[in-house]
Structure 1
């Protein structure tokens, strides 16, 4: 359903949500180890999210990535759309390019409702929803 890239991006955004704001920006070198994602790969993902307005960033000596209050209202689907594109989420679980409602694969009918529910969760769950009441990074990124 989600690529590793989207999973890594979500982890990076959650870390930022727990540890950053407009006054406290974070460099990728301070994140990658905690979220268990290669530094260069995480940098690329966060740069893309920043470029598309999903997260915020600032250049310079006091720069880095951060989540504004507005960024925290973004959904998981906002992240997935930037990283994977929407087609990936709606793609066939068997990998068939011709699978759709009119030409379903053998699993289509069996996973259709689950896929719809999963998409609904991505569209309705905000970053803020996930971090409310949580401040312990270990809850999100166990060793």
Structure 2
């Protein structure tokens, strides 16, 4: 449902929210290495997020990307809007030009509640709240250095 760019952007924002603040910035190379993502691609995404006022950055020898307290108050929905827009949550799942409760496609009543719940979850929780859940539960945002048990 989300583009790869949007997925990388969300992972990057969560990474920055966990690892950084105004006094602790991280460079693109470190973020790309830790998230196992292509560095040039990630650099463009972070620049786009910075222009959208979702990520902060400073230049220079002690520069890098970070999330300020204000940045952490944004929702994941803001990242999705910045990267992909919201049409995927509004458009017909089957691609029909007209689809609504009054004029539903064959899967409208199956997909519509799912899309609504998903968009509400992305809108209702701040990045700071996601970080609290991640750190409390030990959820993984990267598989780097993660031991996978083989059967």
Asked whether the two chains share a fold, i.e. TM above 0.5, the reply is yes
Asked if the contact 2:89–2:116 (Cα under 8 Å) also holds between the matched residues in 1, the reply is: no
Asked if the contact 1:76–1:126 (Cα under 8 Å) also holds between the matched residues in 2, the reply is: yes
* Residue 6 (structure 1) shift: 1.1
Are 1:91 and 2:91 matched, yes or no? yes
* CA offsets 1:43-95 (integer angstroms, 9 cap, x no match): 11111111010111112222111000111111010100000112133222223
RMSD across aligned positions (CA): 2.1
Question: Structure 2: how far apart are the matches of 1:136 and 1:115?
Answer: 25
| Structure 2 SS opposite 1:139 | coil
Asked if the contact 2:49–2:55 (Cα under 8 Å) also holds between the matched residues in 1, the reply is: yes
Are 1:46 and 2:46 matched, yes or no? yes
Look up the match of 1:127.
Answer: 127
Are 1:33 and 2:36 matched, yes or no? no
Question: Structure 1: how far apart are the matches of 2:139 and 2:129?
Answer: 17
Look up the match of 1:140.
Answer: 141
Asked if the contact 1:56–1:71 (Cα under 8 Å) also holds between the matched residues in 2, the reply is: yes
* Residue 125 (structure 1) shift: 1.6
Asked if the contact 2:35–2:142 (Cα under 8 Å) also holds between the matched residues in 1, the reply is: yes
Aligned residues: 143
Structure 1 residue runs of 5 or longer lacking an equivalent are: none
With structure 1 as the length reference, what TM-score do the two structures score? 0.89
Higher Cα radius of gyration: 2
With structure 2 as the length reference, what TM-score do the two structures score? 0.84
Please say which of residues 119-128 and 99-108 is displaced more in the overlay: 99-108
Asked if the contact 1:2–1:89 (Cα under 8 Å) also holds between the matched residues in 2, the reply is: no
Structure 2 residue runs of 5 or longer lacking an equivalent are: 145-151
